[in-house]
Structure 1
Amino acid sequence: MSNETLPATAPKQNRLKVAIDYGPIIAFGATFFLVPVLGIAPRSEALIWASGVLAVTSVIAVILGLLLEKRIAWMPLIAAVLGIPFAILTVVFKDPVFVKLKMTIVNVLIGGGLLIALGFGKNPFKSLLGSSLQLKDAAWPRLTVYYALFYLLMGVANEFIWRTQSDEVWVSWKMGSLIGGPILLTIALIPFLMKNMIPPETETPQDS
């Protein structure tokens, strides 16, 4: 019976993981676009409401990850730790510039942190993924650089977009980059990963 239930439970677990990881950013976008439509607040205050919702749902997502999946949901955790102070600033001063700056700061911290760790001879990705992703030793520093440059580029792009575009465009960019950005980067890195993958050891038959 256990073999019959495994295929059914795996997709359910994947859906739960996606809901926990991406639920807060989806709630953020939905709040921004629905608040003025539902007449809760004017469009000028929608981003303030959305930043508060993002902080609250991020905390909820972290708790659900611990309770339901027995894991730390890193994306919501980072959003909660850095998002709550910026959300408070946004609400107190009624200025959405704080929540826009947060995305730049987070991206720069991640990208810069990866490069700094690499400079000290550390391989953070190997520490996190080494048990599930078997790569040649020389590939881990390059993978770290690729991800660091990606996050730094996202920080630069965020600065350009929020300073030159409307709130609607920026919110759409934020949702698309947080959800689709890492997926597109992973797809782009598939040739590199396949080239540097360590093949599993082939089992030789035992002589009887």
Structure 2
Amino acid sequence: MSATTDHRRGLRQAVDFGALVAFLLAYGVHRFVRGLDGQQALVEATWVLVGASALALAVGWRLERRLAPLPLLAGGFALIFGSLTLIFHDPTLLKLKLTIQNTLLAMVLLGSLPFRKYPFRYLLESAFRLTEAGWRGLTLRYGLFFAAVAIVNEVIWRTQSDDVWVSFRGGLWLASAGFGIWQVVYIMKHMIRDEPEDAPGATTPDPDR
């Protein structure tokens, strides 16, 4: 992987994270500076979320000339449910977005396990190779994580205030980052490394064969 590719991916991830930060800041301004109630502040902040999500997708396309599946899914859901929130003036749709998005991801990942057709293998195999058990375990872990996010989101938005839900939305990014770092250790454990040609036990091709 080249330094240029790393730089582009880093910039795209920064823009993706910036969309969430912009949304959180916009909510804070409308809620605590302008004094709007939580529902109205969420609707007003959704304008920022929709614009920032569109910008993130545009930057991703500009940098890589393609839309990677996961950023496309996240950005697409943000645009769709954000637009519906603005059209119907109902922030419940924005809250449901997190549940629906993560439920679909969980269903796809967990549903692939019986068939041994792991989506992560098709998405990530160009970056690294894992054992069969590694792909299966990684798929299971992320499937359960997405399912847990969907469940927790449902509990929070249905039982807590808008301020608590927005705080949860921000904390979820930190939880996701921490979970991702934890999976790096798992990936390293199950990674297939090319055996050096001069390693003990390595065979030398017979030129006369």
TM over 0.5: yes
Output the TM-score relative to the length of structure 1.
0.82
Output the TM-score relative to the length of structure 2.
0.82
* 1:182 counterpart residue number: 176
Q: Percent identity?
A: 37
Give structure 1 stretches of 5+ with no counterpart. 1-5
> 1:103 and 1:143 mapped to 2: Cα distance?
21
Q: 2:62 aligns with which of 50, 61, 67?
A: 67
CA contact (8 A) 1:134 1:197 kept: yes
Q: CA deviation at 1:134?
A: 2.0
Secondary structure at the aligned position of 1:140 is classed as helix
Question: Are 2:40 and 1:22 equivalent residues in the alignment?
Answer: no
Q: CA deviation at 1:12?
A: 5.3
Give structure 2 stretches of 5+ with no counterpart. 205-209
Count of equivalent residues = 199
Residue type of the partner of 1:20? V
Q: 1:162 aligns with which of 123, 140, 157?
A: 157
CA contact (8 A) 1:35 1:46 kept: yes
Q: 1:82 aligns with which of 40, 52, 77?
A: 77
CA contact (8 A) 2:53 2:79 kept: no
CA RMSD of aligned residues (A): 2.6
Secondary structure at the aligned position of 1:189 is classed as helix
Question: Are 2:145 and 1:134 equivalent residues in the alignment?
Answer: no
CA contact (8 A) 1:90 1:97 kept: yes
* 1:152 counterpart residue number: 147
Question: CA 1:161/1:91 → structure 2, altered by over 3 Å: closer, same or farther?
Answer: same
**What whole-Å deviation, never above 9, does each CA across 1:74-119 have from its counterpart, x for those lacking one?**
4542233223332233223322111111101111000111122333
Q: 2:95 aligns with which of 76, 88, 100?
A: 100
